[in-house]
Amino acid sequence: MGRIHTARERIGYSETGSGTTTPILFLHGVGSDKSIWAPQLDHFGKTRRTVAFDYPGYGESELVERATRDDYASAILAAMRALGIERAHICGLSLGGVIAIAMHAAAAERCASLIIADSFAVHPDGQAIHDRSIAASHGMTMRALAEARSGVLLGSAATEQLKAEVIETMSAIDPVAYRIGAEAVWLADQRARAQAIDVPTLILVGDEDRITPPSLSDELHRLIAGSKLEVISGSGHLANAEQPQAFNSAIESFLAELG
């Protein structure tokens, strides 16, 4: 783990691997940080440069007041450049998928491909989820919020250890950063941006995801021409952590097809 100073702000990141193969980057959800990507850092770091980032205000990154989803995208693009990464495969889960789409809109040439997991272009219940999230972050501690959310986040196969890790990670989030992240994800409407995506795109979703259900990934699949859709069995919203082997295998197969 470390921090990179960009022209914009300080960004936290974790990195494994090296080599000349196109790097892969991982972007976390609103209730998490870069640590959620440990299974992917371990797996993909064996064959290529692999980096997971914190958004502004999360983990080891510097808080930026009133940051937007486009500010998050710009921050990650700046961090990529500071690390000498001009082009990469971009994998984002939930809010991370929203940011991946925003990154493509800002700098498509820097996206070798997109991998959008348990996410959406627009959420039909986004305003209500946002409002509940904001109210909860004001009315209870982040630990209490994390404990209340863990059940709906995870699918039936999730272990107690994973549940405990999810609660610990969410408990450590600055409530101000969480509220900024909640607005960035739940109020997004990126249907036009999704339709404009012109790089290879893989869409992944857990079959037990109750937060961003498979129907929203179906919609993304229809919006993004030539995209591929794969359902991860036995997984809720955190497919990468609940079913890491299946998640990693789907990405490996996708990347192999790109040559």
| Statement: residue 121 has pLDDT above 80 | yes
**What pLDDT does 169 receive?**
97
CATH says 2-258 is which class?
alpha beta
Residue 42: exposure state from Cβ atoms within 10 A (0-12, 13-18, ≥19): middle
Would you kindly state where each structural domain of the chain is located, as residue ranges?
2-258
Strand partners, 16: 50
Q: Looking up tokens 């209870």, which residue turns up?
A: 140
pLDDT, tens digit, for every residue of 201-232?
A: 999 999 999 999 999 999 999 999 999 999 99
Instruction: Give the chain's mean pLDDT.
Output: 96
Grade residue 5 by pLDDT with cuts at 50, 70 and 90.
confident
| CA gap 46, 68 in Å, rounded | 34
Q: Is the pLDDT of residue 158 over 90?
A: yes
Contact 209, 107 (CB under 8 A): no
